[in-house]
Amino acid sequence: MAGLDPMALGVFIALFLLVTVLGFFAARWRRGDLTQLSEWGLGGRRFGSVVTWFLLGGDLYTAYTFVAVPALMFGGGAVGFFAVPYAAIAYVFMFLAFPRFWSVARAKGYVTGADFVRGRFGSRSLALAIALTGIVATMPYIALQLVGMEVVLAGLGIHGEWPLVIAFVILAAYTYASGLRAPAMIAVVKDVLIYVTVIAAVIVIPMELGGFGKIFAAVAPGKLTLPTDALANPGAFSYATLALGSAMALFLYPHAATGVLSASSRHVVKRNAVALPAYSVVLGLVAFLGTMALAAGVKAMPQYADGFKTFGNNYAVPALFLHMFPGWFVGVAFAAIAIGALVPAAIMSIACANLFTRNIYREFFKPDCTPARESQVAKIVSLVVKAGALAFIVGGQATAAIELQLLGGIWIIQTLPAVLLGLYTRWLHPRALLLGWIAGMAAGTWMAGASGFKAAVYVLHIGGLDLPCYAALSSLVLNLIVSYALSLLFNALSNTRADQTATEDYA
Amino acid sequence: MDGRQKGGFRPVHLLLIVPFVGCLWVPFYNRALPALAGIPFFYWYQILWVALTALILFIVYVAEGRE
């Protein structure tokens, strides 16, 4: 594997120290009473358009994204590009539904999606299901951020678990101290580094490799586009369902809700739905890095053989940067990815902590707990969540984390009827929603299990057709059918609701 | 009374269907040619749709402001 490059390592460590200082300093930024959950866990709901743009950009486009999307392009070709249409249409959902979510959360003091479901449908069990889904879908996502960090550390020539442990202990300490203000501030550095790295990469590397024409000529002809048979697997149909299902799932993740609710107004949310696609353009360019790695032929080079052996295709981007860039810029690029792991890891652990504190601890154990106690519990849970993710990766369970994250997407989409449709209607019956959730969770998990949790696409046999469909989408359809059909029945039996929200709360 | 917000929907919201068609009708763009600066159609078309989606959202945002 690559030896230590002092220049790369020096730049990397300097940038890492910079964000550490920022992380602790953030507690003083727009100072608020951090013993309140909405201050620690939502930054006081005071972030304007620009900070929210950086925060959500840093939150949604994670280190693992920047490693795994090019890795998919490197290995699978065209099919890996579904992340781009996904990252376009997700913002249509954000634009339409999430200003309503922001408004009702502000009016009623909700901190999580499960808070909203509890208030809207008056069902503790449904809210618990939503909260647990959020927590179990997010935990492996945090673990994957560590995988992203591990890959670039190995690229720098740093091995063993201790650097990962140190990075996470520092992260845990400033998240504990500063709450959501820390990742919001660090996100600015992260995003600037990512933009610089990606823009430099898409200018310099194609020049070195003789242009995009030559780069794409390195892709096997069968992988340059999808098979012409739309129902092939992978094919056009599975590609479209992956993009649509992922787009519907994205804003249901707790860390997305945390980012949205920290905005200072519903207009900030709307403006960001318009402005955030700028990151998706960058994501498209990041995907090309996988193709560039293919054209550069890094996999055949002996100095990267160990990296590919350990990390598989996830090593494509680090190998490409090491091969193409001078040492100091490798330091910048790798710092961009590593810091890109810290921001979402912090927000995700805060989101899990908010869910546990609000929807499990206060709901079931301490209904009369004080706001200060609530904030204290959340801080401790954010530590526990990060320790769990760290133990998972240090324990060598990276493959399990990837499989669980794949399942996480299928699970989180099952909260769509209660959370997203709940923003528009309370006609759905909470018991029907809960049974729909159970049906969707079971069917989705079973479909992913049919491939040994390796593939998210499951082939449905409908009327003599073989439809390869993203399991999240097909299980969501089942969930919706159950939710609507049983709501008809339950509403006919007893149509009483305990809705704490009023129409004007959503405007 | 079903909790639905009155006046939430406006005809300009129909524009928001367009990105779904542009992004998800895969057979339309599942081809290598015409390439743009060496980038096959499949790829630049989808990146273009990211920008067009943002543009459509911007148009709807501005139109919503003029109530």
Residue that has been written with the tokens 């053989």 in this structure: A305
Report the distance separating Cα A278 and Cα A8, nearest Å: 28
For A75-130, the DSSP string reads HHGGGGGGHHHHHHHHHHHHHHHHHHHHHHHHHHT--SHHHHHHHHH--HHHHHHH
Chain B contact for A78, CB < 8 A?
yes
- Retrieve residue B9's tokens: 């929907």
Quote the ipTM score.
0.90
Cβ contacts of A275 on chain B, cutoff 8 Å: 54
Cα three-residue angle A496-A475-A425, rounded to 5 degrees: 30
> How far does the CA of residue A151 sit from the closest CA of chain B (Å)?
27
Chain B contact for A233, CB < 8 A?
no
Helix axis angle for A124-155 and A430-449, nearest 10°, is 30
- Facing residues of A468 across strands? A459
3-state secondary structure A47-71: ECHHHHHHHHHHHHCCHHHHHHHHH
Looking at residue B3, what DSSP letter applies? Answer: S
Task: Compute the Cα dihedral for A485, A486, A487, A490 and give only its sign.
Answer: positive
Q: What is the amino acid identity at position A29?
A: W
Q: Compute CA A205 distance to the chain's CA centroid, rounded to the nearest angstrom.
A: 28
Are B26 and A237 within 8 A, CB to CB?
yes
Are A426 and B19 within 8 A, CB to CB?
no
- Retrieve residue A464's tokens: 């003599």
Chain A contact for B51, CB < 8 A?
yes
* CB–CB contacts below 8 A, A to B: 124
Report the distance separating Cα B35 and Cα A217, nearest Å: 12
Report the distance separating Cα A416 and Cα A421, nearest Å: 7
Nearest to A282 by CA among A363, A370, A192: A192
Chain A contact for B26, CB < 8 A?
yes
Chain B contact for A167, CB < 8 A?
no
Probe site for chain A from B5, B13, B25 (most A CB atoms < 10 A): B5
Cβ A435 vs Cβ B11: under 8 Å: no
Question: Phi/psi of residue A465, each to 5°?
Answer: -100, 145
Can you give the pLDDT of all 507 residues of chain A as single tens digits? 456 788 899 999 999 899 999 888 888 877 777 788 888 889 888 899 999 999 999 888 888 888 989 999 999 899 999 999 999 999 999 999 999 999 999 999 999 999 999 999 999 999 999 999 999 999 988 988 988 888 999 888 888 788 889 988 998 898 888 889 888 889 999 999 999 999 999 999 999 999 999 999 999 988 999 988 888 888 899 999 999 999 999 999 999 999 999 999 999 999 999 999 999 999 999 999 999 999 999 999 999 999 999 899 999 999 999 999 999 999 999 999 999 998 999 999 999 999 999 999 999 998 888 888 989 999 999 999 999 888 888 887 778 888 888 899 999 999 999 999 999 998 999 999 999 999 999 999 999 999 888 888 899 888 888 889 999 999 999 999 999 999 999 998 877 778 888 888 898
- Retrieve residue A135's tokens: 């927590």
Nearest to A302 by CA among A285, A281, A323, A282: A323
Q: Please identify among residues 91-110 of chain A the ones whose CB lies closer than 8 Å to any CB of chain B.
A: 91-92, 95-96, 100
Q: Compute CA A142 distance to the chain's CA centroid, rounded to the nearest angstrom.
A: 9
Cα three-residue angle A373-A269-A375, rounded to 5 degrees: 5
For A408-438, the DSSP string reads HHHHHGGGHHHHTGGGT---S-HHHHHHHHH
Report the distance separating Cα A443 and Cα A449, nearest Å: 10
Are A224 and B40 within 8 A, CB to CB?
yes
Cβ contacts of B6 on chain A, cutoff 8 Å: 503
| Length of chain A measured in residues | 507
Q: How many CA atoms lie within 13 A of A51 on its CB side?
A: 22
Q: Compute CA A193 distance to the chain's CA centroid, rounded to the nearest angstrom.
A: 19
Residue that has been written with the tokens 């945002």 in this structure: B61
Give the C-alpha distances (Å, rounded to integers) separating A483 from A175, A408, A456, A480: 38, 21, 23, 5
Q: Which of B5, B40, B57 sits opposite A274 (nearest CB)?
A: B57
Radius of gyration for chain B, computed over Cα atoms and rounded to the nearest angstrom: 16
Nearest to A448 by CA among A405, A389, A399, A479: A405
Cβ A371 vs Cβ A401: under 8 Å: no
Nearest chain B Cα to A120, which residue? B3
> How far does the CA of residue A209 sit from the closest CA of chain B (Å)?
12
Cβ contacts of B51 on chain A, cutoff 8 Å: 277, 281
Chain B contact for A89, CB < 8 A?
yes
Are B5 and A214 within 8 A, CB to CB?
no
Looking at residue B15, what DSSP letter applies? Answer: G
Q: How many CB atoms lie within 10 A of CB A322?
A: 24
- Retrieve residue A119's tokens: 């208030």
Q: How confident is the model at residue B66 (pLDDT cuts 50, 70, 90)?
A: low
Burial A269-308 (b: 16+ CB within 10 A, else e): bbbbbbbbbebbbbbbebbbbbbbbbbbebbeeeebeebb
Cβ contacts of B42 on chain A, cutoff 8 Å: 78, 81, 224-226
Are B3 and A501 within 8 A, CB to CB?
yes
Burial A413-439 (b: 16+ CB within 10 A, else e): bbbbbbbbbbbbebbbbbbbbbbbbeb
Are B38 and A213 within 8 A, CB to CB?
yes
- Facing residues of B39 across strands? B36
Burial of A91 (0-12, 13-18, 19+ CB in 10 A): buried
Chain A contact for B21, CB < 8 A?
no
Are A243 and B24 within 8 A, CB to CB?
yes
Domain regions of chain A by residue span? 29-384
pLDDT of residue B6: 42
CATH architecture of A29-384: Up-down Bundle (1.20)
> How far does the CA of residue B55 sit from the closest CA of chain A (Å)?
7
pLDDT of residue A23: 87
Chain A contact for B35, CB < 8 A?
yes
Are B43 and A243 within 8 A, CB to CB?
no
Chain B contact for A497, CB < 8 A?
no
Nearest to A312 by CA among A222, A402, A389: A402
